[in-house]
Amino acid sequence: MRGDRWLRSTPLRLLLGFSLLTVLTVLAAFLAAWVLIGGELRRLEDGRILETATSAEAVLHDVDLTDHAAVTNALESAVPDDGTLYQLTSPDGTTLASNTERVAIKETWSVLPPTVFNAGTDVPFRVFRKPVSGGDLLIARPQTARDEIDEVLFGAFGWAAALVLLAGIGEGAFLAGKAKLRLDAIAGALAEVGKGDLTVRIAQSGRQDDIDHLVERINQTIAQLEANVGTLRQMSVDIAHDLRTPLNRLHIRLEEAAQHLVAGRVPEAEIDDALAQSESLGAAFSALLRIAQIEAGARKKQFRSVDLAQVATEAAEAYDLVAEDSGMVLGLEAIGPVMINGDHELLVQAIVNLIENAICHCPPGTQIRLYAGANSGRAQISVADDGPGIPESEHGNVQKRHYRLERSRTTPGFGLGLSLVRAIADLHGAQMMLADTSPGLRVTLAFGRYPAA
C-alpha cells in the first residue's frame, strides 16, 4: 500500500480520530483529577500551615519579644524542621526572628516563588501571614507534594496519550491493510464484470460486517445483471427466430410482386399481404418497446386515481362486437367504483390483451367473462374463458416474452401479449395469477389492499 493511500484509508483515519478523542477524554480526566487532587492537597497544606502558625503563636505568648534568642528558640520549637520557613517582625518592621530572607507581604495567603526566600529549591511556597501580639508572623511551606503530584499526573498522561496514539496507529494500519485487501478484491471483481465476465462472485469474510453486507449486495447486483443479460440474449435469439418466418414471407411476397410487375400485372394481393406482414412486424417491435418502457417505470409518473370498473367497461365495449364476430360472447360484471392509483391507458391495454388472447386462442361458442371488483380484501380485475385453457405446468412460461404453446404456433402473434400484461401488472405492484377454470383459463390482476388503509 502506498503511503498516501495508507494515510487516506478509512479504517486508519477513523481509528486515529477515535484515538484523538480518547486522548482528549483522558486529558479531561487528568485535568479533573489534577484540579480535585490539587485542591485537596492545598486544603491539607493550608491546614498544616495554620496548625504551625497556631503553635507558634501559642509559644510566643509567654516569651519576651525583645529577647531575640528566646523568640528564635520558641519558634524553632513550634515550626517543624521540614523546610518550613518562618519570620517574625515587630510593628515597626524590625525582624525579631527568621530562618529565611526578609519578606514583606500584606496578603493573608499567597504563593511566592522560591527565589524570594533564596531557597535551594525550584518549588513555589505557600505563605500565610498572621498578626500576633507585638508582631507580625509569617509561615511558608514549599509545595513539594503538589509538585510531585503534578509530575506524576502529567507524566502518566503523556504515557497514556502516547500509548493510545501508538495503539490507534498500529491497529489502524492493521485494519486498513485488511480492509484494503478486501476492497481490492471487490475492485478486481468489478473490473472482471466490466470486461464481461458476469460469473464472477466476491468471497465474504463471514464476519457479517459492513463490507460483507456490501459484498452481498454487489453479488446480488452481479447475479441480477447476469440474469438480465441472459434474458436479453435469449430475447435476441427469440426475436431472430420468431421474426425469421414473417420476414421470409414478406421477402417472398415482394419477390412475387416484382415478378407480377415485370409481367405487366398489378400485384394487389401480394402488396396487401406484404403490407399486413410489415404491420405485424411493426406491432411486434412496438410491443417490445412498450414493454421496455413499462419495465423502466417511465409511466409511473403518470399514475392517477383509476376506477377498475370503468377500465373493464371500456374494454368490454371495445371488444363486444369483435367477440360476437368471432362467434363468442363477452360478458361483463363490474362492481364499482373500485379505485386504485395507476395508469388508465395501460390498464385498459392489459385487459384488451387478455381479451384478444381469449378470442385468438379459443374456438367459436366460447364464453368470455370480464370481472372488476374487490375480492378477499384486494382490488381485482380478471378475464376468464371456457376455452381449451393452458396446462398448469405452462403458466409460468407463457408469461415470458416470445414463448408460445405448441398448438399456438399456427396462429398469428409473437408471444408478447401476456408478457406485456405482466409488465403492466408489475408496474402497478399487482399480482398476476393464472388459474384453471376446468375448462378454460382465468387471468387475474390483484392489486393492493382495498380499500387502501
- Given CATH 3.30.1300, say whether it is the number of domain 3-147: no
C-alpha cell at 120: 535551594
Q: Looking at the structure, give the CATH architecture of the domain made up of residues 210-295.
A: Orthogonal Bundle (1.10)
CB 333 within 8 A of CB 342: no
Q: Which of 377, 315, 319, 323 is nearest to 346 (CA)?
A: 315
CATH fold of 300-449, please? Heat Shock Protein 90 (3.30.565)
DSSP string for residues in 234-273: HHHHHHHHHHHHHHHHHHHHHHHHHHHHHTT---HHHHHH
Beta bridge partners of 95: 89
Q: How many CB atoms lie within 10 A of CB 140?
A: 28
Q: Which of 184, 426, 175, 204 is nearest to 299 (CA)?
A: 426
pTM above 0.75, yes or no: no
Q: How does pLDDT run along the chain (453 residues), one tens digit per residue?
A: 455 555 566 666 666 677 777 777 777 877 787 778 777 878 888 888 899 988 888 888 888 887 888 888 888 888 888 888 998 888 888 888 888 888 888 888 998 998 888 887 888 898 999 888 778 899 998 887 777 777 777 777 778 777 777 776 777 677 777 777 887 888 888 888 888 888 888 888 777 777 788 888 988 988 888 887 776 676 666 666 656 666 777 778 788 878 878 887 777 887 877 787 677 666 666 656 665 666 555 566 778 888 999 999 999 998 899 899 999 999 998 887 888 888 888 888 889 888 988 898 888 999 999 999 888 788 899 999 988 877 776 665 555 654 544 444 444 544 556 777 888 888 888 888 888 888 888 999 999 776 655
How far is the C-alpha of 222 from the C-alpha of 235, rounded, in Å?
Answer: 19
Locate the domains of the chain by residue range: 3-147, 210-295, 300-449
Cell 507585638 sits on residue: 134
